[in-house]
Amino acid sequence: MMERTDTRTVALLGVPMDLGGGRRGVDMGPSAIRIAGLEEGVRALGLEFQDRGNVPVPEPLSRTPKNPKARFLAEIAAACAELRRRVEAVLTDGAFPVVIGGDHSIACGTIAGISSFHHRQNQKIGLIWFDAHGDMNTPESTESGNVHGMPLAACIGRGAPELVRLGDRVPMVDVEKAVLIGVRTIDARERQEIKASGIHVFTVKDIDMHGVHKVMKMAIEIASAGTAGFHLSFDVDGMDPLVAPGVGTPVFGGTTLRESHLIMEHAAESGRLLGLEITEINPILDNQNATARVAVDLVLSALGKNIV
């Protein structure tokens, strides 16, 4: 197997956040990824690697949330603000950010950083969001109050101001440049939010009908048109639980291992990938760190690992 080699530096940022979901354990995701050999894999590609440590996540004074419609919102927003700062620092240094969660609420900080960095250069960014869930709830529509069900909405300008306004640009991403892929379970009111927003959606049915190749080609075209490139936010529960068992909200019927790699390979081959994020790995629910090992391989594919 031949590997891609170039001069890029990959910078890892861990975000041990578990405040956005209803189950504990995803805060150990960054450690699981490190143990699974991300640094060794990146260096084997001929890339420089920097581990920039973990973003501190405030511990709430009580595990009983003040706002049941947006649980631990203040603490999540504070962590995301610090993550934004660190992502901007990575980009300013000319490195490629790989952000590892933690629950998917962290995406608000990652995307705020990438959007703000490019906004200062009078550029917009696109977004490809891979997930079994819509993540398009707001505090008004949510059934659970879990903020990890709200970040995509926030990134396109809908929902809690504490998240919507994390970046220099509001919205962080224009809805016309945002694509949701792999969705297969949506709350009733969230479905209304998705339709009202106008976001581009490719469900698992679309993947079944057209294949990952065509779906990713269309998604990249949408997210790249008139932008500096796109960020890929990848929730591991978008894959089938038989591939990735270590997730807090598993939904059967997700992408296979090869389909998941093809998503990453298309992102790499586009030459338009601005940043990568992997979320919702839960080692407590995993089988001998299998999900983290799969995630490491997927990151390498997104960085350009080739078969020949």
Average pLDDT of span 139-158:
96
Q: Which of 62-71, 135-144, 291-300 has the lowest mean pLDDT?
A: 62-71
Residue count (the chain): 308
Average pLDDT of span 144-165:
97
Confidence of residue 66 (pLDDT cuts 50, 70, 90): confident
What letter represents residue 181's amino acid?
Answer: I
Cα 274 to Cα 261: distance, rounded to the nearest angstrom: 18
Whether 226 has a pLDDT exceeding 90, the answer reads yes
Confidence of residue 7 (pLDDT cuts 50, 70, 90): low
CA angle 41, 285, 261 (to 5 degrees): 40
pTM: 0.96
Q: Is 210 annotated as catalytic?
A: no
Of 269, 224, 260, 264, residue with least CA distance to 241 = 260
Torsion of CA 11, 301, 247, 135, to 10 degrees: 80
Q: Is 135 annotated as catalytic?
A: yes
Q: Give me the pLDDT at residue 64, please.
A: 81
Which residue in the list 75, 240, 280, 286 is annotated as catalytic? 280
Whether 156 has a pLDDT exceeding 80, the answer reads yes
Average pLDDT of span 24-47:
97
Which residue in the list 235, 240, 259, 277 is annotated as catalytic? 235
Q: Is 237 annotated as catalytic?
A: yes
Residue 276 DSSP label: E
Which residue in the list 18, 103, 104, 259 is annotated as catalytic? 104
Q: Which of 32-41, 64-73, 260-269 has the lowest mean pLDDT?
A: 64-73
Q: Is 6 annotated as catalytic?
A: no
Torsion of CA 76, 150, 18, 56, to 10 degrees: -30
Q: Give me the pLDDT at residue 59, please.
A: 87
Whether 23 has a pLDDT exceeding 90, the answer reads no
Q: Is 148 annotated as catalytic?
A: yes
pLDDT tens for each residue of 93-102: 999 999 999 9
Q: Is 297 annotated as catalytic?
A: no
Whether 144 has a pLDDT exceeding 80, the answer reads yes
Which residue in the list 27, 131, 162, 259 is annotated as catalytic? 131
Which residue in the list 135, 162, 190, 265 is annotated as catalytic? 135
Q: Give me the pLDDT at residue 306, please.
A: 87
Give the residue with greater pLDDT, 4 vs 125. Answer: 125
Task: Give the pair of three-digit tokens for residue 33.
Answer: 């990824």
Q: Is 200 annotated as catalytic?
A: no
- CATH node for 9-302: 3.40.800.10
Whether 123 has a pLDDT exceeding 70, the answer reads yes
Q: Give me the pLDDT at residue 1, please.
A: 35
Average pLDDT of span 153-177:
98
Which residue in the list 27, 75, 118, 133 is annotated as catalytic? 133
pLDDT tens for each residue of 232-258: 999 999 999 999 999 988 999 999 999
Q: Is 280 annotated as catalytic?
A: yes
Domain boundaries, the chain: 9-302
Bond from prior residue into 250 cis (ω within 30 degrees of 0): no
Which residue in the list 18, 162, 193, 237 is annotated as catalytic? 237
